[in-house]
């Protein structure tokens, strides 16, 4: 009887399985079309310290600088720019800004060091702030959405959400057991217009949680095998991650793999389609990543670079 039930379940799953996806298309990343490097553009102290999350706000690129405790605003050509915020614990100061979101004319900043959400007005002035209150949860990975929802990962196997007003809600995702030394899964969160996108970086699984029903997708099998082989090359003290960075993209989400050449990343759409990003020249691992119009914005250790994506109009991921 047990064998019959198991066979019936397998048959039902097979019947509901989607048709095999077509082979993913690829976009070759050439030389950067523009860049802003701290080492050559600025005198000491450098304009950039330790960059992390970036987003587009009012036709500018806003970049969180965790070490400098400020948010940098750069125009589209990356020339000039200015910085917002000073270090401190006061109501208009930052300690370690980590995540950003554009809410109309307002820029919302999650300041992890001060455990609060801060509003920056249209004039660039730091305004009100609210403490982030999620009982029993210390925010880890954070994503701010344009709808004003903040998603905080308390540990590698849990994420919860709270409004930018700081109102707590119950955790909405929990998976497996985890500890500080042996996480069950490494989870990053990325905002999208459909809702939160959950990036399981250890297993290279992407979940579009805002789609009903939720869409789970993984890299093509041959790429997955290459990723696993690449991770095996790392020293054992390194935490394995098949996806080392993820960021916002109108097409869905953009992810980066632990390769410096070859297939370095991918654009993934809410319907589970993958469009690979390739490079014949070495590209350093990004600290931040996003797609701005038809450009891939790569936030690295030494500055920011933009790569033209040249998206094909008829294939790949639709806008």
Given this model, what pLDDT does residue 154 score? 52
Higher pLDDT, 31 or 185: 31
Q: Tens of pLDDT along 78-126?
A: 888 888 888 888 878 888 888 888 888 889 888 888 888 888 998 888 8
Is residue 71 scored above 50 in pLDDT? yes
Strand pairing class (205-208; 262-268): unpaired
First vs last Cα of the chain: how many Å apart?
49
Structure tokens at 83: 């910085």
Given this model, what pLDDT does residue 319 score? 33
How far, in whole angstroms, is CA 271 from its chain's centroid?
18
Given this model, what pLDDT does residue 34 score? 93
Q: Tens of pLDDT along 201-255?
A: 888 999 888 888 889 999 999 999 999 999 888 887 776 789 989 999 998 999 9
144 φ, ψ to 5°? -100, 135
CATH of domain 24-176+183-308: 2.120.10.30
Is residue 267 scored above 90 in pLDDT? yes
Given this model, what pLDDT does residue 288 score? 87
Is residue 135 scored above 60 in pLDDT? no
% of the chain residues with pLDDT over 70: 69
9 φ, ψ to 5°? -65, -45
Given this model, what pLDDT does residue 253 score? 94
- Distance (Å, whole) CA 113 – CA 108: 15
Given this model, what pLDDT does residue 46 score? 43
Is residue 169 scored above 60 in pLDDT? no
Given this model, what pLDDT does residue 11 score? 35
Structure tokens at 255: 């992810």
Is residue 270 scored above 60 in pLDDT? yes
Integer-rounded Cα Rg, in Å, for the chain is 20
Higher pLDDT, 45 or 263: 263
Given this model, what pLDDT does residue 112 score? 83
Q: Tens of pLDDT along 280-290?
A: 999 998 988 99
Mean pLDDT, the chain, integer: 76
Find the helix or strand (DSSP H, E) in which 9 lies.
helix 2-16
Given this model, what pLDDT does residue 182 score? 34
Q: Which residues contact 161 (CB under 8 A, 6 or more apart)?
A: 149, 150, 151, 152, 169, 172, 196
Structure tokens at 92: 């208009």
Domain extent listing, the chain: 24-176+183-308
Given this model, what pLDDT does residue 42 score? 45
Least confident of 70-79, 149-158, 239-248, 256-265: 149-158
């Amino acid at each position: 009887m047990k064998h019959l039930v198991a066979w019936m379940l397998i048959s039902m799953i097979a019947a509901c399985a989607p048709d095999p996806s077509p082979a993913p298309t690829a976009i070759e990343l050439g030389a950067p079309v523009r860049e802003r490097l701290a080492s050559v553009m600025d005198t000491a102290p450098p304009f950039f310290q330790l960059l992390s999350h970036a987003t587009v706000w009012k036709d500018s690129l806003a970049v969180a600088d965790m070490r400098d405790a400020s948010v940098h605003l750069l125009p589209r050509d990356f020339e000039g720019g200015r910085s917002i915020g000073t270090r401190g614990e006061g109501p208009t100061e930052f300690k370690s800004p980590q995540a950003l979101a554009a809410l109309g004319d307002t820029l919302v900043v999650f300041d992890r060091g001060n455990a609060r959400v801060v509003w920056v007005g249209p004039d660039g002035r730091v305004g009100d702030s609210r403490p982030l209150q999620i009982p029993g949860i210390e925010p880890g990975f954070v994503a701010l959405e344009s709808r004003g929802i903040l998603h905080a990962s308390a540990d590698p196997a849990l994420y919860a959400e709270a409004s930018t007003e700081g109102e707590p809600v119950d955790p909405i995702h929990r998976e497996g057991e985890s500890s500080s030394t042996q996480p069950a899964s490494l989870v990053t969160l990325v905002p999208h217009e459909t809702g939160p996108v959950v990036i399981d970086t250890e297993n290279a699984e992407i979940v579009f949680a805002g789609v009903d029903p939720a869409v789970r997708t993984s890299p093509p099998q041959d790429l997955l095998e290459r990723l696993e082989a690449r991770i095996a090359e790392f020293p054992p003290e390194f935490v394995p991650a098949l996806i080392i960075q993820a960021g916002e993209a109108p097409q869905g989400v953009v992810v980066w793999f632990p390769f410096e050449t070859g297939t370095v990343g991918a654009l993934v759409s809410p319907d589970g389609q993958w469009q690979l990003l390739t490079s014949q020249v070495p590209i350093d691992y990004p600290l931040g990543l996003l797609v701005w119009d038809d450009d891939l914005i790569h936030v690295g250790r030494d500055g920011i670079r933009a790569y033209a994506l040249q998206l094909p109009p008829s294939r790949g991921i639709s806008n």
